[in-house]
Chains A and B, each alone.
Chain A
């Protein structure tokens, strides 16, 4: 068996110093295998966003170890040199709102990621169109962002997250602005993409409608995670 897509142990994050210090994460452990879609659930202020930012190599943890696809990213103060390249090549992001770039058309919104990685414009656009087709929005490839529905925009955002074939996707409340039907569609798509590309996907959510669709869920509370397996939830 290969490496886990995400492997975290004893991850802590402290904001501030002295008496004003706040421990947002207090020793988080997490393992996510390739092709797995995992839910991350917790109340406001529990540390969800901090964990997501650590996983996304946007902020550095204070202590602990984190490895993505077998490569150690943080290890008790040590970190990989080029976090920007790591984010570009290894991690895909899907946000609560699609956050597409309004001055680019649909194809270029997806193609911009491989372009940033140095892929030629023609090749990047070809990959973007393939990914858009895989997400059933290929017919809107030439459209401008404001011409898309909310669901279509979210699919384009997912296409952007997947286009560089990143082994990990971090989805921050991707269904929040969608109705039930569309929310379930987005989760179905994420599951399909995880199966198809072997991508590990962590979905942060409050959305009660989609929680039952996860086979594994990590609850986070007061900076600590608690794993809940699907069987346990069924029981």
Chain B
């Protein structure tokens, strides 16, 4: 038997292909939404992997440092290093901010770290590690910064000495790594006017400016102008150490919260990006319904345009299943064209997105199956209409 669907498609291929293109762009948007969700999850996981930590020690009763603010004294690492199984510790600060550079401004996550300790960038793609104590930076490629470029962060200028890749915050902002002391200053120190103002206020406070206690006022003022806090202490454990045991020890004896990698994964994926994920899921559902409606409408319209031909085919003895197969094959053909166009479009435009879009092959296979299933479901209305066509309508009167 002739493939009626194929012949019909070839006969009106222009209309069919353009319809498939339109549908494909919609499918491309749907695949991109799935890719954005995957990118969000991957950004979170990369954030955990790249620090090289096994445990994250944060302020008690917080979900820090990514999901909630956390403040830990920067000498806490000494006590943590004394716990059995801890091989290395590194103080790390995080601060999301807007920075200016030569071609504009960019939103970044400023990371303060100690070179050689957990929390440093996992690898460099260009340049060198930070070797000076101050005013050098390593930037993620997505920040748009170049090697040797000078950027102003608050009161100081930093030179970009190294570039790294896929070092982004859970929100997708590229990271800029600077020495811990610089980052603490950026995060906790006030500007000169605020310092002068604060000093005047402290001096006017008789509790701190007592004539009989020399040096008290200076000590209080010095404490106001410096910071010894970090957001997290990252720990690397010895090979044989059990992370849950070490975490339990820290909670018990150090009055701090300690999260394992799986805990952090749960916090990032299930809590931090949960709302975004639900938002994207809703978009996916709506786009799937819209795609189904479009396929159904197109196939229904194409079928109504062939009522006379269908009546003739039925009159000359075509079985209902022959007619239904023709419509189903056309719907599947439209879905297949739409998927190919959509996958190609999503692949082409993914790098243009400001945030990471991760298109997984498994998602593409699932998407193809869903598109074909939706196309098949969408053809039901048209098939019902075709099967209701009375062969008698081919005969006049």
Task: Indicate if the CB atoms of B7 and A103 lie closer than 8 Å.
Answer: yes
**CB neighbors of B among A145-199 (8 A):** 160, 172-173
**CB neighbors of A among B20-39 (8 A):** none
Q: Chain A residues near B8: list those with CB within 8 A.
A: 103
Task: Indicate if the CB atoms of B396 and A49 lie closer than 8 Å.
Answer: yes
Of the stretches A11-19, A26-34, A71-79, A89-97, the one at the interface is: A89-97
**CB neighbors of B among A37-73 (8 A):** 48-50, 52-53, 56, 58-59
Q: Chain B residues near A2: list those with CB within 8 A.
A: none
A116 within 8 A of partner (CB):
yes
B312 within 8 A of partner (CB):
yes
Q: Chain B residues near A115: list those with CB within 8 A.
A: 1-2
- B319 in complex: contacting residue of A58, A84, A108, A121, CB < 8 Å: A84
B134 within 8 A of partner (CB):
no
B318 within 8 A of partner (CB):
yes
Instruction: Render B279-320 as a binary contact track against A, CB cut-off 8 A, 1 for contact.
Output: 000000000000000000000000000001100111111110
User: Interface size class for chain B?
Assistant: 20 to 34
Task: Indicate if the CB atoms of B317 and A102 lie closer than 8 Å.
Answer: no
Contacts A101-B309, A121-B2 given: A112-B316 contact, CB under 8 Å?
yes
Contacts A56-B395, A58-B392, A96-B396 given: A88-B7 contact, CB under 8 Å?
no
Task: Indicate if the CB atoms of B2 and A117 lie closer than 8 Å.
Answer: no
- B317 in complex: contacting residue of A53, A59, A87, A101, CB < 8 Å: A87
A211 within 8 A of partner (CB):
no
Q: Chain B residues near A113: list those with CB within 8 A.
A: 316-317
A116 to B316, CA, bound (A): 9
A113 to B318, CA, bound (A): 8
B311 and chain A: residue at smallest CB distance: A99
B392 and chain A: residue at smallest CB distance: A58
Which of B317, B391, B394 lies at the interface centre, i.e. has the most chain A CB atoms within 10 A of its CB?
B317
Q: How far is the CB of B126 from chain A (nearest CB, A)?
A: 59
A59 to B315, CA, bound (A): 11
Task: Indicate if the CB atoms of A93 and B317 lie closer than 8 Å.
Answer: no
A104 within 8 A of partner (CB):
yes
Q: Chain A residues near B314: list those with CB within 8 A.
A: 84
Q: Chain A residues near B318: list those with CB within 8 A.
A: 116
B10 within 8 A of partner (CB):
yes
Instruction: Render B309-341 as a binary contact track against A, CB cut-off 8 A, 1 for contact.
Output: 100111111110010000000000000000000
Q: How far is the CB of B386 from chain A (nearest CB, A)?
A: 14
- B394 in complex: contacting residue of A48, A50, A95, A116, CB < 8 Å: A95
B12 within 8 A of partner (CB):
yes
B310 and chain A: residue at smallest CB distance: A101
A85 within 8 A of partner (CB):
yes
Task: Indicate if the CB atoms of B309 and A172 lie closer than 8 Å.
Answer: no
Task: Indicate if the CB atoms of A173 and B396 lie closer than 8 Å.
Answer: yes
A interface, CB within 8 angstroms of B: 48-50, 52-53, 56, 58-59, 84-85, 87-89, 93, 95-96, 99, 101-104, 108, 111-113, 115-117, 121, 160, 172-173
Can you report 9 A-B residue pairs in the complex whose CB atoms are below 8 A from each other? A58-B392, A59-B392, A87-B316, A93-B316, A102-B11, A103-B12, A113-B316, A116-B318, A117-B317
Known: A87-B391, A93-B316, A121-B2. 15 other contacts (CB 8 A): A48-B397, A53-B395, A84-B317, A87-B315, A89-B317, A95-B312, A95-B396, A101-B313, A102-B309, A103-B12, A108-B2, A112-B2, A112-B313, A116-B322, A160-B316
